[in-house]
Amino acid sequence: MFIVYLCALLLILNCVFFGIGNALTSDVVSQIPLFTFLALRFSVAAFLFLVISPKRIYKNLFTLKKGKGPLLLVCVLTALSYLLANVSLSLTQASISGFFLSVAVLFAPFLTAWFHKTKLDWRILPVLGMTLFGLYLLCGGFGDTFSFGWGEATGLMCSAVFASQIVCSSKYLMRYGWEPVTLSAVQTGFMAFVCLPIALIADPPFQIASFSVPFWLAIGFIAVFCTLINYIFQNFALLRVCPVYASVAMSTEMIFTLMAAHFISGETLSVSALIGGALVFIAVIIASFFTNISPPEST
């Protein structure tokens, strides 16, 4: 069980990286166009994958006899979740979008039961309710002006797609014996392949030499910790942790995003946000006690 709990901690560590990365990203995208940033992020990470482990990636990818279709599916779901997230952020308030982007936990139990052909553990539902309420408080509530529009709809679709990616990755990592580093490299390379043409076509040009050292340090942190290491930790964990528990653990991302925004950008942490963060952490702990956090058997 030690390795299972270690993987749960790796998922939460990923959320720490993403929390810091989200705060840095808001500053970076204020200086360069969105798809240019994404192209830089994933191109740098893909290059690092090839530098660090070229033989392993080549051996595992080009000797792959089964699972090429599922591998493409996981990559498409990865790209689609990123695109929907950015559309949502552009169409509605950040706090409201943040809530809908964080509710993958709502879809994961049902997708896991359907895709893995396992029985749904109804005991997880109160934990999901606690997690959703905690996320609601973290986002500051919706206020009196809330209405459900395209921004909210795309955020909800993003969470459904991300939950699908988690569930599919978990199933196919076990079924086809995919190596986590190789899958991470393929996901990263696919994102670079998608974002580079869009950046070249849709984004205005910019002068690389005009940016400061802190800008490139931010790009480096996001590429290394929020992309390369993040994907490796996530795929390594999904071999050993149930997708339902993984989605609950990943809900802590909003907590670390708000904390990073507080320390990096000086944003205020409200009492409701602190209470919401505590509820999410409690939900993660409770889920680890009474649910089977080991992954379901591949079928």
Residues 22-36 have a mean pLDDT of: 82
Q: Which residue is listed with tokens 């166009």?
A: 33
The pLDDT value recorded for residue 186 is: 92
Determine phi and psi for 63, rounding to 5 degrees. Answer: -105, 10
The more confidently predicted of residues 21 and 193 is 193
Count of other CB atoms within 10 angstroms of residue 62? 7
Q: Give the model confidence (pLDDT) of 243-262 as tens digits.
A: 888 887 887 777 777 777 77
Q: Where are the domains of the chain?
A: 2-290
Are 165 and 81 a contacting pair, CB within 8 Å? Answer: yes
pLDDT tier at 94 (50, 70, 90 boundaries)?
Answer: low
Counting beta carbons within 10 angstroms of the beta carbon of residue 119, is it exposed (0 to 12), middle (13 to 18) or buried (19 or more)? exposed
Determine phi and psi for 28, rounding to 5 degrees. Answer: -65, -45
Q: Give the model confidence (pLDDT) of 193-235 as tens digits.
A: 999 999 999 888 877 767 788 889 999 999 999 899 999 999 9
Are 59 and 169 a contacting pair, CB within 8 Å? Answer: no
Residues 127-146 have a mean pLDDT of: 71
pLDDT tier at 263 (50, 70, 90 boundaries)?
Answer: confident
pLDDT tier at 45 (50, 70, 90 boundaries)?
Answer: very high
Percentage of residues of the chain with pLDDT beyond 90 = 18
**The dihedral formed by the CA atoms of 4, 5, 11 and 17, expressed in degrees to the nearest 10:** -140
Residues 18-31 have a mean pLDDT of: 80
Question: What's the CA angle centered on 150, arms 145 and 152, to 5 degrees?
Answer: 60
Instruction: For the chain, give the mean pLDDT.
Output: 81
Highest mean pLDDT of the ranges 122-131, 185-194, 289-298: 185-194
